[in-house]
Structure formats: structure tokens, C-alpha cells
Amino acid sequence: MRFGLSRLARLALSAFLVTGAAAGAQQLPPIEPPQPLPSAHHETPTLRVTANEVLVPTLVEKRDGDVVYGLKPDDFVLEDNGVPQKIRVQEEMDTAPVSLVVAVEEGGVSALEFAKLAKLGPLLDLFLSDGRSQAALVGFDSRPHLIRDYTHSSEEVGEALKHLQPGNGGDAILDTVSYAVDLLESEPKEYRRVLLLVSEERDHGSKHTKPEQLIKKIGRSDVLVLSVSFSPSRAELLHDMKDSGDERTLNMISPLIMLVQAFKKNVSKEVAHMSGGEYTTFTGDKAFEQRVVDGAKHARNRYLITFSPSDPTPGLHAIRVGTAQDYGARIVARANYWLAPEQ
């Protein structure tokens, strides 16, 4: 009986995708290789995730919300494609300044959320309170644009958030995340780089960035993505396929292809999980504010774990982080990274 329901769900999903593709055919990315987006900074980014070292921001949080402090390298277990790795853990967790890019959707139905976004300014003090940290504001519809360049003042960003203008029907999340990563990678390497993305779940209209490109870009960067999504799906279309007979087929599909499909379903969620960040949804004002407060607290209370891959095979690598002892805690860490071929 479960198999029958699973097949029905797949047929419904296929019909939905076919209908959606026909309606939005003009918004699909071009077949030819996309051109890079212009950046507000022209310096060549310096990536801290290389073939020699991978950075894995890791949050260890108890069920009551308290962060577990004082863990050492021996307290963690990290696997790269299932193989345990020798790791290093940075001792200081929350002393580094933050470079923050706030990317807010202005296209589609996002104008309904502008009143909530207008209240975001004071909450940014949670990121900028040390006096060294800084934030930039990016808006986007069918393409991203820089609204406010880096500033130490949450008031300046907050004022810009009060004057957002409705855009067109586009929701170019792929292009925007790529653009924001470029902005963050131009910042000094000692800064923690954080992207706060407020948007819908699905991309509509990105023309410069394909899912595969963004997967590789996020996988090579050390940007932490905190996604706060509105208009969330009321139900998950993907079901537990463990007993449906589909697992045998999926095991034949490469991890990259599976991740691309997940990006098409909910790019906001997947970029957050891939980077080691967090994905949440909201409906009311209080829920939105609490999501931002939680994200700011968690961003500064992550362990910075690094390791040199024992297997330097190029491509997408899966990471699993656990603890040697059961602390009854929730562990949030990056799920993947991309290892480029040596030049």
C-alpha cells in the first residue's frame, strides 16, 4: 500500500513540474554557459577551503538551547565520505568579527513581507555589536543589486530596509547567493563570513548561475548561510523512500545529481545545510524576529573545525560530524564541500 501511495505522489509531482516548466519556460537559465554577475568588489576572492584544509563550522546545542562549550578535538568525530579524519578545533569560538550580507527578496509576492523586514535593523546589532563587524544589504528580484555597501552601523542598514521597493516577478536566489558569496569572499580572511538570506524557497529566473555552479561555489567557500524563508510549503513532497523500493534506484544516482535536484526543490534550505548554517521558516512578526535572533546567536557560537582530507579525490564530498560522547545535543555542521582538481 505504501508503494502505491509513493507512486501516486511521484505522478502528482511530475505533473506539477511539467506544468510549472511550461508556465515559466521563459525564465529558465540559458543553455549556453552563463556569464558571471558583476560584483561590487573587483578583488579576486581568496578561498580558505583548499585541497589542504576544509573548514567545518559546527554548532553543538543542548535540547534546552544552551550551547555546549569547551569541546576539544578528541570530543568530535568527523567523517569525510565515511572515512574518519584527523581534525583541529579552533579554541576561541566567538571573538572573530563578522562580515554579514543580508540578502532580501524584493520580487514576486515578497512585498507582503516588507513590514517585517523593516523591523530587522535593530536585530542586526546581534551581529555588529563588537564594533568591528560590518554588514551589507543586497536586494533581488530577477537579479541582485547592492542596496547598501558594508557599514558598521545597523541603523544605516535598518533605514535602507524601511525603503525597499517592490521588484518584478523574479526570485533569482541562485544568482543572489553567488553574488553575496563574492561580496563576502572579498572581505579579510580573519572575518567570519555570514549570509542572512530572506526569501522564498524556490528559485525563479536566475540566468547567470546554475545549481551545479552554486553547489561547487558554496562547497569551496567558508560562507555560513542562514536562510529564513517565507511562504513555506505546507507539506513535504518528498517522502521517506526507505521502504518504497526507490532506494535501489537512488543509490545509482551520483550525490551531485541528487543535490542538484534538492536545490531545485528548496534552494534556500539546501545552501544553508550545505554550508553548515541553518534553515527556518516564519509566518508572523514574532516568529521572524526570533529566527533572526537565534541565527545571530548560533553564528557566533560555532566551533571552527578544520581538517586535511585523507582522500583528495576531486568532486563533491559528504561530511558527517558527531561527538565521541552522547551529550544529548543537536549538532549542526556543513554537509558537503567541493574539492577542485589541482591545477
Q: Mind listing the pLDDT tens digit for each residue in 288-298?
A: 888 888 888 77
Residue 185: its H or E element: helix 173-185
The pLDDT mean for the chain works out to 79
Residues 58 and 140 in one domain: no
Instruction: Indicate the number of domains in the chain.
Output: 2
Choice between 194 and 1, residue whose per-residue pLDDT is larger: 194
Mean pLDDT of all residues in 177-204: 92
Choice between 13 and 105, residue whose per-residue pLDDT is larger: 105
3-state class of 219 per DSSP? helix
Query: Is 323's pLDDT higher than 70?
Result: yes
Phi, psi of 12 (to 5 degrees): -65, -40
Query: Is 272's pLDDT higher than 50?
Result: yes
Q: What share of the chain is helix, strand, coil (3-state, %, to 5)?
A: 35, 25, 40
Mean pLDDT of all residues in 54-79: 89
Query: Is 4's pLDDT higher than 80?
Result: no
Distance CA 116, CA 106 (A): 13
Distance CA 247, CA 6 (A): 12
For residue 64, the model assigns a pLDDT of 79
Percentage of the chain beyond pLDDT 90 is 47
Domain encompassing residue 280: 98-234+266-299
pLDDT tens for residues 124-154? 998 998 889 999 999 999 999 999 999 999 9
For residue 228, being part of any structural domain is answered with: yes
| pTM score of the predicted model | 0.74
pLDDT band at 343 (very low <50, low <70, confident <90, very high): low
For residue 159, being part of any structural domain is answered with: yes
Residues 159 and 289 in one domain: yes
pLDDT band at 278 (very low <50, low <70, confident <90, very high): confident
Q: Which residues pair with 224 in a beta bridge?
A: 194
pLDDT band at 341 (very low <50, low <70, confident <90, very high): confident
For residue 112, being part of any structural domain is answered with: yes
3-state class of 133 per DSSP? coil
Query: Is 211's pLDDT higher than 80?
Result: yes
For residue 180, the model assigns a pLDDT of 97
Mean pLDDT of all residues in 215-241: 70
For residue 22, being part of any structural domain is answered with: no
For residue 119, being part of any structural domain is answered with: yes
Distance CA 52, CA 50 (A): 5
For residue 186, being part of any structural domain is answered with: yes
Residues 226 and 136 in one domain: yes
Distance CA 339, CA 337 (A): 7
Mean pLDDT of all residues in 198-219: 93
For residue 267, the model assigns a pLDDT of 93
Query: Is 216's pLDDT higher than 60?
Result: yes
Residues 63 and 192 in one domain: no
pLDDT tens for residues 12-56? 444 443 344 444 333 433 433 334 444 444 343 333 444 478 989
Task: For residue 302, count other CB atoms closer than 10 A to its CB.
Answer: 23
Residues 171 and 88 in one domain: no
Query: Is 242's pLDDT higher than 50?
Result: no
Q: How far does Cα 8 stand from its chain's mean position? A: 31
For residue 211, being part of any structural domain is answered with: yes
Residues 153 and 283 in one domain: yes
Residues 205 and 280 in one domain: yes
Mean pLDDT of all residues in 319-335: 89
Q: Which CA distances in Å does 132 have to 136, 191, 303?
A: 14, 10, 20
Residues 223 and 284 in one domain: yes
Task: For residue 116, count other CB atoms closer than 10 A to its CB.
Answer: 21
Burial of residue 52 (number of CB atoms within 10 Å: 0-12, 13-18, 19+): exposed
Choice between 177 and 109, residue whose per-residue pLDDT is larger: 177
Query: Is 304's pLDDT higher than 80?
Result: yes
Query: Is 232's pLDDT higher than 50?
Result: no
For residue 247, the model assigns a pLDDT of 38
Residues 282 and 307 in one domain: no
Residues 294 and 312 in one domain: no
